[in-house]
Amino acid sequence: MSGILGKAFSVIAVFAVTWGSVIFYWRNSGTVPTGMEMLAYLGLLPVGLSSAGFMLRNAGRSMLDKAVDAADAPAAADAPAGATVTAATATPHPSSVAVLATDMRLGVDMDADALLAAVGALPRPGLDGRFHDRDGLPLLMCAAPDLDDTRVLKAQMGAFDTRAAERRAMALLEPVADSLLAQALLALPELEVAEERVVAGLRRRDEQVVESVLAIELLVPVDWSVSVRGFCAEWLQGRAEASGLDARRFTVDIGIAADAGEVWSRVQRIADAVGQGTPQWYLLLSCSSAIDPGVVAAWLEENRILHRQNKEGMIPGEGAAGVLFATPSLAAAETPRLWRPQRIDLAPQAVAAERRRQSEALGRALLTGLAVPPEQVQMVLHDADQRSELAVDASAAATAVNPDLDIGRQALALPVCAGELGPVLPLALMTLAHAHAVAAQSAALILGVSAPSQRVAALVDFPSSHDPSADSLSPA
């Protein structure tokens, strides 16, 4: 609307100036114009001037657009062939969030510290007699032993039924959620006690205005029913209040994630929001389980599971994990921080060598943008499983970042011992990175190499050792 008014004002201004000038000239010179002269000077002349002005303005804009495109062309040409930087990675400067606490429960019965200690000889999933392939042979599984899968969800919840995958995942989530909710309670500042005062002989209570400063989000697989997700929201709300959190100070949301890539996108958005203090604290949880007859049957039908005739398949796993983020200014200097994860999208036709080169370049670019010395990275955590091609990609990316790394002792492939974790995988990797940063006082690099069309790199370290505020991050 403002554009139309502007054009109308321009036309009116041209007519007013033209008419005023012509009439002033005629009066001073004593000229008596004819009808054709009046038409030409008072009609055609202002119309022509207006048209010429619009043509010159459009031509100027076209030339300016071409100049901008020409300036942007060299930057686009510098990007690697077959790769594009996602819109979410286009930040002018790197940002970080404090990682106050982490926790996880996986099918492999080991916590983060135990897994890091066993990095050179990780346990492997075993054969599970409850599940068989088409030839009747048992399948490899990574299932939590002696798990009471009815602790949170029952098989029948009155108005709806549940699946084994949902029950097992929620049973694994319960201790993780309780632990991190207790940490959130400790992190949040205490509320001032409302005081009672006597005003005009009447006793009144000054109620304090309480702001919502903590966001709690649970990510579950996309195949969970709406009824189960609704129960999860009520259950999580109740657990938070039971932990001592004031209901006015937090919100609860249940999201869905199809794979680890969607979780990394969510972590990017959380890093942007929490880094700016809106909200100031964020508890991100996730749980998933593939230890379910229906899930195993579907994977067999789709030829996704590892068995005798499919050596490139996946091993079903299960787990729950969570990370408590906070605005950096609210955390102590010795608190580990997660630098905003960086992602690149690969072209569908990219060959293995190109994907490997992109993995190497992304890790190096992340450290360069953050001004982190390569020797500061003393642990690499990645999502490569038992497939040899992924293991080679992860190893190449790790050595490209720090050539002095001992891949046998300083690189941990979580799916090799924990199986397929779905949306839990990124949070479990961050839990391991946080545990390493606290124990070793050094940086841990997280690499995502398993997705065929995406590569991910993230870093957990202590930012007090360097100041990247003056560096621009450009992973491509």
Within 13 Å and on the Cβ side, how many CA atoms surround 47? 6
Distance CA 434, CA 97 (A): 12
Provide the pLDDT for residue 7. Answer: 62
pTM above 0.85, yes or no: no
For the cut 60, the answer to whether the pLDDT of residue 129 exceeds it is yes
Residue 294 has a CB neighbour count (10 Å cut-off) of 12
For the cut 90, the answer to whether the pLDDT of residue 102 exceeds it is yes
Residue labelled with tokens 């108005």: 159
Provide the pLDDT for residue 193. Answer: 57
Query: Among 36-45, 178-187, 417-426, whose mean pLDDT is lowest?
Result: 36-45
Within 13 Å and on the Cβ side, how many CA atoms surround 366? 35
Provide the pLDDT for residue 334. Answer: 86
User: What six digits make up the tokens of 271?
Assistant: 């890093």
- Reported as a single tens digit per residue, the pLDDT across 117-126 is 999 889 999 9
Return all residues near 447 (Cβ < 8 A) that are at least 6 apart. Answer: 359, 363, 380, 381, 382, 383, 394, 397, 398, 455, 456, 457
Q: What single DSSP character describes residue 80?
A: P
For the cut 90, the answer to whether the pLDDT of residue 348 exceeds it is no
For the cut 80, the answer to whether the pLDDT of residue 137 exceeds it is yes
User: What six digits make up the tokens of 452?
Assistant: 């065929």
Q: Give the type of residue at 291.
A: I
The overall average pLDDT reported for the chain is: 84
Residue 271 has a CB neighbour count (10 Å cut-off) of 24
Query: Among 21-35, 96-110, 194-208, 390-404, whose mean pLDDT is lowest?
Result: 194-208
For the cut 90, the answer to whether the pLDDT of residue 291 exceeds it is yes
Instruction: Reduce the DSSP state of residue 336 to 3 states and report it.
Output: coil
Q: Are 306 and 315 in contact (CB under 8 A)?
A: yes
Span 383-403, mean pLDDT? 90
Distance CA 297, CA 311 (A): 17
Rounded (5°) CA angle 85-86-91: 85
Provide the pLDDT for residue 267. Answer: 97
Provide the pLDDT for residue 20. Answer: 76
For the cut 90, the answer to whether the pLDDT of residue 293 exceeds it is yes
Span 364-373, mean pLDDT? 90
- Reported as a single tens digit per residue, the pLDDT across 43-90 is 767 667 666 665 666 555 555 444 434 444 443 334 444 444 443 333
Closest C-alpha to 379, from 353, 357, 351, 409: 409
In sequence order, what are the beta bridge partners of 419?
Answer: none
The answer to whether the peptide bond before residue 279 is cis (omega within 30 degrees of 0) is yes
**Ramachandran bin of 201, using left for φ above 0, alpha for ψ from -120 to 50, beta for the remaining angles:** left
Distance CA 95, CA 88 (A): 12
Distance CA 96, CA 226 (A): 34
Distance CA 102, CA 336 (A): 11
Provide the pLDDT for residue 210. Answer: 74
Q: What single DSSP character describes residue 42?
A: I
Model confidence band, residue 269 (pLDDT cutoffs 50, 70, 90) = very high
Q: What are phi and psi of 5, to 5 degrees?
A: -65, -40
Provide the pLDDT for residue 12. Answer: 74
Return all residues near 161 (Cβ < 8 A) that are at least 6 apart. Answer: 155
Q: Give the type of residue at 332.
A: A
Provide the pLDDT for residue 175. Answer: 97
Distance CA 94, CA 251 (A): 27
Residue 392 has a CB neighbour count (10 Å cut-off) of 15
For the cut 60, the answer to whether the pLDDT of residue 426 exceeds it is yes
C-alpha torsion sign, points 427, 430, 435, 438: negative
User: What six digits make up the tokens of 316?
Assistant: 């079903």
Residue that wins the pLDDT comparison between 297 and 39: 297
**Ramachandran bin of 36, using left for φ above 0, alpha for ψ from -120 to 50, beta for the remaining angles:** alpha
- Reported as a single tens digit per residue, the pLDDT across 308-317 is 888 889 999 9
Residue 48 has a CB neighbour count (10 Å cut-off) of 13
% the chain with pLDDT above 90: 60
